[in-house]
Amino acid sequence: MGTTKISGAEAVIKCLLEEGVDLVYGYPGGAIMPVYDELYKFKDQLHHVLVRHEQGATHAAQGYARATGKVGVAIATSGPGATNLVTGIADAQIDSTPMICITGQVGKHLLGSDAFQETDIIGISTPVTKWNYQITEASEIPDIIAKAFYIARSGRPGPVLIDITKNAQFDEIEFSYKKCTSIRSYNPKPILNLEKVAAAAELINKAKKPFILFGQGVILSEAEAELKALVEKSGIPAAWTILGLSALPTDHPLNVGMLGMHGNYGPNVLTNECDVLIALGMRFDDRVTGNLATYAKQAKVIHFEIDPAEVDKNVKTTVAVLADLKESLTALLPLIDNNTHESWHNEFKEKYEIELEAVINDELQPKKEGISMGETIEMINKHSKGDAIMVSDVGQHQMFACRYAKFNSTKSNVTSGGLGTMGFALPAAIGAKMGMPDREVVAIIGDGGFQMTIQELGTIFQTKVPVKIVVLNNEFLGMVRQWQQLFFDKRYASTEMINPNFIAIAEGYYIKAKKVTKREDLDAAVAEMMASKESYFLEVMVEKENNVFPMIPTGASVSDIRLS
C-alpha cells in the first residue's frame, strides 16, 4: 500500500485496524491521550469500552480472547494505569491467552527522571509477558505492533505489552503497514517429527489401560474435532484440566471428568493405575499432579505439546511429540487401532458410582435446608441446556462450576486457571459477551471475588452488555475457610465477610436484581434471569460451610483423594 504522513497516535489506531481489531478496552490518562484523541476520530471503526479500573480492561480483553480465539486488546496510561494492568497480564501469561496491552509513557527526554506518572512498566512486566517493548520513536510503531500481534497469537499464545512514549505518539511518520509472519530466532511451531508420532501410536495401541489427559492446548490449536476422533476411535477414556473443559462435550460417553485437587474421584485415582498416560496440550500443573514423587510412576508418559519448556519440566516423558496439537493429532489418527477398552472403562464407572453416592447426590440434591452451590449450577444447566458460556471467578464456586457445569461446545468455560485471580469473572464476562453476542454468558462469582472488581457494574450499565451475574454468597472467603476448617482446626482467621446490600448496589447501576434465600424460589429466579434480554444480577444465599469434595490435600498423592 502507499504511504501517508500521520501522527504516531493515528498510526497505532491504523495498525490495530490492519490487524482486524474492532474492540478495545481501556482507561484514558495523560500519557496515552494522543491515542485516545485518535480513537475518538475512528470510533465508527474501532469501538472502545471504558472500564472502571485498568485491571478490568485486561480481564475483559482476556474474556474476549478466550471466548473468540482472537487477540484481546487493552489500553492504559502510564504509571498507575500501566501497573494496574499487571495482574491481568500475569493471568494471561500463565493461561496462554493472546492479548496486546498498549500503555502510554512520559516523553523520551523524561525517561529515568522520575517524572509525573513515570513507571518502568517494561521492567515490571518482563517476567509476566511473552514479549514487551518500549517505543520511543514514531517510526517504530508499525513494525513493533505487527510483531506484537504475531508473537501474541502464534505458537503458545500469550500477552505482549507495548509502551509508547508521548513524543512517539505526537511525531509524524510516513505510514505503511505489513503484517508480521516470521521473526528470526523465534520458532513458535516446532517441526513435527513423524517418528515420534509413530512411537506414540505404538505405545497407545499396545496399552491395556491407556488414559488421555487434555488441556487448553486442544482449544488453542482448534483440535477439538481431532480429540473427539481420537477418543472415539481408540476408546480411550479422557479427562480434562479446568482450562481444557469444554473441548470435549461434558456428556460425551468417553469424557470421564475433571482432573486435579477438586476433580473427579476416578480420573485422579486411576491416573496411578493406567499403563500409558497421554497428555494433550497440558502442562502437568501441581494442582493436577499432586505429589510428583508418586504421580503415575507405573505409566509410560506420552506428551503432545507445543512449548518445549513444558516437556520433562514436571513429569518425565517416554515419548514427547513437539508440534502444534492439531497437526500432531492429525498425523496420529491414521496410526491408531480401533478399540473399546471396555473393562478399563468399567473401572471409571465403578469409581464414579462411589463418588456419586459419597459426594454428588448430596451436592446436587441436598437434604439440608440451605441451598448448595452445586445445585445452583445444576439449575443453571437446566435453563442453559449446556449452551451458555460460563465465566467463573476463583474459589469454591469456581470448583463447583467446573465440576458441575454442562457444555455442548468449545470455548465455553472461561476461568482464571494458573494465577487464580479473584475479581476475574465480572470483567471477563463482559469481554466474552461482547466477543460472542449471540451466546448467553453467565458469570459465576463468590461474594469475595465480586467485590474485587464490583465497579465493573458501571461498565455493564454504560455499555448495556447483557451479561448474567450470579453471586453465590456464603458470607465467607469460602475456599480459604474450607482449608481453615480441614487443616487449621476451624480457626477462621479473616475469612468471614460482612457484606453490603448487593441488590441495592446492582440496582444503583440500574441492573435488574433478585435475591434468593429459599430453595423453592431458585428455579423461577434462574429462569427469569436466563430469559432476560438485558443484564441481570442474581444473588443466591448458599450454605455458609459447604465444602468442595473430592479434595487432594496439598502435597498428597492423587491416590489419596478425599471424598469427605
pLDDT of 2 strictly over 80:
no
DSSP element (H, E) containing 481 = helix 478-487
Smallest Cα–Cα separation from 9: which of 152, 143, 173, 177? 173
pLDDT in tens, 259-310: 999 999 999 999 999 999 999 999 999 999 999 999 999 999 999 999 999 9
Do the Cβ atoms of 60 and 74 come closer than 8 Å? yes
DSSP element (H, E) containing 132 = strand 131-135
Active-site annotation holds for 189: no
How does residue 204 score in pLDDT terms, banded at 50, 70 and 90? very high
Cα distance between residue 304 and residue 411, in whole Å: 20
Active-site annotation holds for 130: no
Q: E strands of 382-509, at which residues?
A: 389-392, 413-415, 441-446, 468-473
How does residue 377 score in pLDDT terms, banded at 50, 70 and 90? very high
- Number of other residues whose CB lies within 10 A of the CB of residue 238: 26
Active-site annotation holds for 116: yes
How does residue 242 score in pLDDT terms, banded at 50, 70 and 90? very high
Mean pLDDT, residues 475-492 taken together: 94
Tell me which residue has cell 479422557.
238
User: Catalytic residue among 14, 130, 147, 166, which?
Assistant: 166
User: Catalytic residue among 18, 70, 117, 461, which?
Assistant: 117
pLDDT in tens, 538-559: 999 999 999 999 999 989 999 9
Cα distance between residue 50 and residue 203, in whole Å: 53
Percent residues over pLDDT 70 in the chain:
99
Mean pLDDT, residues 222-232 taken together: 98
pLDDT at 3: 63
Cα distance between residue 89 and residue 440, in whole Å: 26
DSSP element (H, E) containing 82 = helix 80-83
Query: For residue 287, what is its C-alpha cell?
Result: 494442582
5-174 and 369-541, same CATH topology: yes
The top-level CATH class assigned to 194-348 is alpha beta
DSSP-based three-state secondary structure for 25: strand
pLDDT at 369: 87
pLDDT at 458: 98
Q: Where are the domains of the chain?
A: 5-174, 194-348, 369-541
DSSP-based three-state secondary structure for 146: helix
Query: For residue 530, what is its C-alpha cell?
Result: 436466563
DSSP element (H, E) containing 185 = none
Q: Which amino acid is at 130?
A: K
pLDDT in tens, 393-448: 999 999 999 999 999 999 999 999 999 999 999 999 999 999 999 999 999 999 99
Distances from the Cα of 24 to the Cαs of 36, 93, 501, in angstroms? Answer: 11, 19, 32
pLDDT of 1 strictly over 70:
no
Percentages helix, strand, coil for the chain (3-state, rounded to 5) are 45, 20, 40
DSSP-based three-state secondary structure for 228: helix
The top-level CATH class assigned to 5-174 is alpha beta
Smallest Cα–Cα separation from 57: which of 500, 520, 427, 372? 427
Rounded to 10 degrees, the C-alpha dihedral 455/460/461/462 comes to 100
User: Catalytic residue among 43, 45, 116, 174, which?
Assistant: 116
Alpha helices for 388-424 (secondary structure H): 396-404
pLDDT at 366: 84
Rounded to 10 degrees, the C-alpha dihedral 361/367/369/373 comes to 0
Cα distance between residue 245 and residue 241, in whole Å: 6
Q: Which amino acid is at 402?
A: C
Q: Which residues, at least 6 apart from 266, have a Cβ–Cβ distance to it below 8 Å?
A: 256, 257, 347, 348, 349, 350, 351, 352, 355
pLDDT of 327 strictly over 50:
yes
Q: What is the fold of 369-541? A: Rossmann fold (3.40.50)
Cα distance between residue 406 and residue 364, in whole Å: 13
How does residue 370 score in pLDDT terms, banded at 50, 70 and 90? very high
Q: Which amino acid is at 386?
A: G
Do the Cβ atoms of 93 and 129 come closer than 8 Å? yes
pLDDT of 4 strictly over 80:
no
User: Catalytic residue among 479, 529, 530, 551, which?
Assistant: 479
Do the Cβ atoms of 443 and 429 come closer than 8 Å? yes
pLDDT in tens, 82-94: 999 999 999 999 9
Distances from the Cα of 178 to the Cαs of 1, 171, 182, in angstroms? Answer: 9, 20, 12
DSSP-based three-state secondary structure for 562: strand
